[in-house]
Chains A and B, each alone.
Chain A
């Protein structure tokens, strides 16, 4: 789950900072964007539930001189209960974050611009209905800096390339490994704190031209305390965990006659040096044959490596100037490179695990004015996987979602 929080956080920060543009006549230019979605979810297994998403960004661009400006941005984000891709979160998990970014912008000639900045964020995660936000196991604090460079190559068609380097120090103050503490009851000191603390480095290159965009992103996460489970012995070794991912994406936003298209495609390759030791029960002790997928204790090397393809094809058909009918098909397909799929008895099979989640959405959109839109939508979700062990997480289900969303952006 923490990986999802991280990627959401970084993407939000990376995309939106560029969005605010100064008006020449203003010393101060405010930036406001609020998206609100609320929906009812009816899964094929389990009961109806409601959930929502709120994303609010308020910023202020201050122009000091013709070449120098400062941009401050506050971002509030809430992700409520919703259908989730497999191996992600539970349906009922929620998280909330506050992000602060301060950026200095310096123009170098007409075509170049440098944007160094600092960032701080606090995230809260909640699983139970009445769990306090402050006590979430995956609560996270992040601080760091970034440097972006923009090169404009086509002013008429808004063509530019942005290169970004960013670094974050990330702490999970509440995270602990309860199993490790349980296994060492005589030690009263906190021995399992800080296991998820990490430093994150990311570089990205994002060209954009005439409504088309693309991107290449490399992310590396170095864990400060978490050690790798040795693939031969099944115990923690000296090597520390290190994850990385490479992602490429592209898409465009264009209007053709009465149709508005905004398709997007991305492909991510994630790898980690961490392995996974699967216990069938808390009392399982048979370490004799850890390579056997049906053994009580099984070692899964490179358990967290996967390749993931995501695409979405949203289309809006403008019936009148105000009303539009929308459709969207989105697909997330994840294939694990080494992790086997499990049968209903938690035994690993020879086939590698594959997850597929498809969402088909129909909607009615009303454009309230130049800056505000409202959308009523229905979504059909079909999630399938060759992993049939679903004691803790659903892998194969259908679901319906009905909801309403508002967006107001200036």
Chain B
């Protein structure tokens, strides 16, 4: 540990000669502009956080999952996902991969409640779903690769009362009525980290919109910690915390 501290101190010393100021206001404006230009893509990144796109652990038949962060907290995104194993690896024939069905629905219900009690917001909806399937095959005692398909969709509508339209940095944005829909291909690899604990990395690629994301996840019997990367997104890193129960 002492060596690591010395090392980090040395790195900070190296950073000094190349110091430069960060213009956070300008950066914020740039990010806000990207959100306004394509709000559906920005919102869909949060849906990907709650989507369960890893295979069921060996021996499990089905599972339920809910995204805790950043979906339920703080975005009040009520969400429920499920996985169901259609075929266990090698059950019908040796080497035949495991096949899981996956799917889920999410709805920012608080947005509807706010719209009901607000004079300036007439209508607010933000919801989405996904459905798909994952094939997984063990290639060694410690490695399982998985391949999948999912169809994801999202709908977002924010309608403001006349004269109360949304403004961002003195620019009138108006109403938001948008959506996102695409077919995704997935590929990943999973390796155990302990008893009923796994580590995985995967790529999700949207064929039509060319949206892509990578997910790095650590998961045990009940919780999943993840770091999702959206290289072309507004918020590139999404730390993720999900809860699941496997049966």
Give the total of B residues in contact with A, Cβ under 8 Å.
Answer: 43
Q: How far is the CA of A29 from the CA of B95 in the complex (A)?
A: 12
Which of A's residues lie within 8 Å of B, judged by CB? 29-30, 32, 34, 36, 38, 42-45, 47-48, 50-52, 54, 56, 58, 76, 78, 80, 94, 96, 124, 129-130, 133, 319, 323, 325, 360, 362, 364, 368-372, 378, 380-382, 398-400, 406, 408, 410
Q: How far is the CA of A319 from the CA of B140 in the complex (A)?
A: 29
Q: How far is the CA of A319 from the CA of B3 in the complex (A)?
A: 9
Chain A residues, Cβ within 8 Å of B140: 410
Q: Name which residue of chain A comes closest to B237, CB basis.
A: A38
Q: Name which residue of chain B comes closest to A33, CB basis.
A: B189
Cross-chain contact B193 with A368 (CB below 8 angstroms): yes
Cross-chain contact B231 with A34 (CB below 8 angstroms): no
Which of B's residues lie within 8 Å of A, judged by CB? 3-4, 7, 10-11, 14-15, 17-20, 22-23, 26-27, 30, 33-34, 37-38, 137, 139-140, 142-143, 145, 187, 189, 191, 193, 199, 201, 203, 205, 210, 212, 214, 216, 229, 231-232, 236-237
Cross-chain contact A47 with B212 (CB below 8 angstroms): no
Listed A/B pairs (26) with beta-carbon separation below 8 Å: A29-B139, A32-B189, A42-B18, A42-B20, A47-B22, A54-B212, A58-B187, A80-B232, A96-B212, A129-B34, A130-B34, A130-B37, A133-B210, A325-B3, A364-B4, A369-B191, A371-B191, A378-B14, A378-B15, A380-B15, A380-B17, A398-B20, A400-B15, A400-B18, A408-B191, A408-B201
Given contacts A129-B34, A130-B38, A408-B201, contact A51 B231 (CB under 8 A): yes
Chain A residues, Cβ within 8 Å of B199: 368-369, 372
Chain A residues, Cβ within 8 Å of B229: 36, 38, 52, 54
Chain A residues, Cβ within 8 Å of B145: 30, 32, 58, 410
Cross-chain contact A36 with B205 (CB below 8 angstroms): no
Chain B residues, Cβ within 8 Å of A78: 212, 231
Q: How far is the CA of A215 from the CA of B16 in the complex (A)?
A: 39
Q: How far is the CA of A34 from the CA of B27 in the complex (A)?
A: 30
Interface secondary structure of B, over-half rule: mixed
Interface centre among B140, B189, B212 (most CB of A within 10 A): B189
Q: How far is the CA of A45 from the CA of B193 in the complex (A)?
A: 43
Interface centre among A52, A133, A399 (most CB of B within 10 A): A52
Chain A residues, Cβ within 8 Å of B137: 30
Q: How far is the CA of A389 from the CA of B6 in the complex (A)?
A: 40
**How near does chain A come to B214, taking the closest CB pair, in angstroms?**
5
Chain B residues, Cβ within 8 Å of A382: 18
Cross-chain contact B203 with A44 (CB below 8 angstroms): no
Cross-chain contact B203 with A54 (CB below 8 angstroms): yes
**How near does chain B come to A294, taking the closest CB pair, in angstroms?**
33
Contact of A370 among B11, B142, B236 (CB under 8 A): B142
Given contacts A36-B229, A380-B18, contact A325 B34 (CB under 8 A): no
* 9 more CB-based (< 8 A) A-B contacts, given A56-B187, A56-B203, A130-B34: A32-B189, A38-B237, A47-B26, A50-B236, A58-B145, A325-B4, A360-B14, A400-B19, A400-B20
Cross-chain contact A54 with B214 (CB below 8 angstroms): yes
Cross-chain contact B20 with A369 (CB below 8 angstroms): no
Q: Name which residue of chain A comes closest to B227, CB basis.
A: A404
**How near does chain A come to B158, taking the closest CB pair, in angstroms?**
20
Q: How far is the CA of A406 from the CA of B187 in the complex (A)?
A: 16
Cross-chain contact A94 with B191 (CB below 8 angstroms): no
Cross-chain contact A34 with B142 (CB below 8 angstroms): no
**How near does chain B come to A218, taking the closest CB pair, in angstroms?**
34
Contact of B236 among A52, A130, A325, A378 (CB under 8 A): A52
**How near does chain A come to B128, taking the closest CB pair, in angstroms?**
22
Chain A residues, Cβ within 8 Å of B3: 319, 325
Contact of A48 among B22, B34, B201 (CB under 8 A): B22
Chain B residues, Cβ within 8 Å of A323: 4
Chain B residues, Cβ within 8 Å of A52: 229, 231, 236
Given contacts A133-B210, A371-B142, contact A408 B189 (CB under 8 A): yes
Q: Name which residue of chain B comes closest to A81, CB basis.
A: B231
Contact of B193 among A43, A80, A124, A369 (CB under 8 A): A369
Cross-chain contact A30 with B18 (CB below 8 angstroms): no
Cross-chain contact B14 with A362 (CB below 8 angstroms): yes
Cross-chain contact B18 with A44 (CB below 8 angstroms): yes
Chain A residues, Cβ within 8 Å of B232: 80, 94
Contact of A44 among B20, B37, B237 (CB under 8 A): B20
Q: How far is the CA of A161 from the CA of B237 in the complex (A)?
A: 43
Chain A residues, Cβ within 8 Å of B189: 32, 34, 371, 408, 410
Chain B residues, Cβ within 8 Å of A129: 30, 33-34, 37
Q: How far is the CA of A130 from the CA of B39 in the complex (A)?
A: 12
